[in-house]
Amino acid sequence: MNLLPVMRTFKRQIPAWGSWFFTTDIRPIAGFASAHRLMLMGFFHTAVSKSRIAFLVTTEQEALEELARTRPGLLFVVDQLEQGSSLALVEQARSVVPDIRTIMIVNGQKGDLVSAGLSSADAVLSESDCFEPEAPMVTLFRMISLGQRYRSRSVKAAMAAANEQGEAWRDGPPGLTPRELEIVALMVEGLSDRQIAEQLGVGYEAARSYGKNLRRKLGAANRAQAVAKLLKLGLTGLRR
């Protein structure tokens, strides 16, 4: 797909919907968190006003610190961070800034789309949907300004498919052992299996085995699904 014509059209649309958005009750100051530094650069260069960018960070902890310091009205989170969990960041953002709107951009697989779609983010869209002809970004901002949730085409399709398949990870909370509850807290904080092994003082293979058993109990295909399930079920208190 040649994105150049789409980007040119999008650039022309920015002043129109940007001016409208500034009349809503959302503070038009945004923070951005992503492991993709080129994407952060893109956010900066397409911004209506550079002064309305509160921060551009690459980790969960940096984002939480900047949220507390700058208190923006919007938080854009890409599903991959250099450190920490994007899902955990979305869940925690409102505890730091109660009236913030969170927008999550996902460029992963079907499971990642489902996990993000089930999160508390005000809006979730697939990276592939960002510049579709029907201007999903405009629809997104209109909906969240009205207090409504937004899920883009690909996200809704992935969630519908998961619902039809009756995925087990959408069921109730499983029984977890004390050791698994320790793993839960570390997993939600974004630690890798190797880092979890170091924290718990166990071997790497043992940590991997604990993680696999936990995902099996949750019916999660991957770590992102497991974290989303844990947060949704309230099975973990984040250790901050």
- The architecture in CATH of the region 4-164 reads 3-Layer(aba) Sandwich (3.40)
Question: What is the third-level CATH fold of 168-233?
Answer: Arc Repressor Mutant, subunit A (1.10.10)
Q: Is the pLDDT of residue 231 over 90?
A: no
Q: Report residue 234's pLDDT band, with 50, 70 and 90 as the boundaries.
A: low
Q: Report residue 238's pLDDT band, with 50, 70 and 90 as the boundaries.
A: very low
Residue whose pair of structure tokens reads 């979890």 in the numeric block: 196
Q: In what order do the strands lie in the sheet with 101-106?
A: 53-57, 30-33, 74-78, 101-106, 123-126, 150-151
What residues does 101 pair with on adjacent strands?
74
Going from the C-alpha of 65 to that of each of 53, 146, 152, the distances in angstroms are 15, 28, 29
Domain boundaries, the chain: 4-164, 168-233
Model-wide pTM > 0.85: no
- The separation between CA 49 and the C-alpha centre of its own chain, rounded to angstroms, equals 24
Is there a contact between 124 and 137 (Cβ–Cβ < 8 Å)?
A: no
> What pLDDT sits at residue 36?
86
Is there a contact between 78 and 34 (Cβ–Cβ < 8 Å)?
A: yes
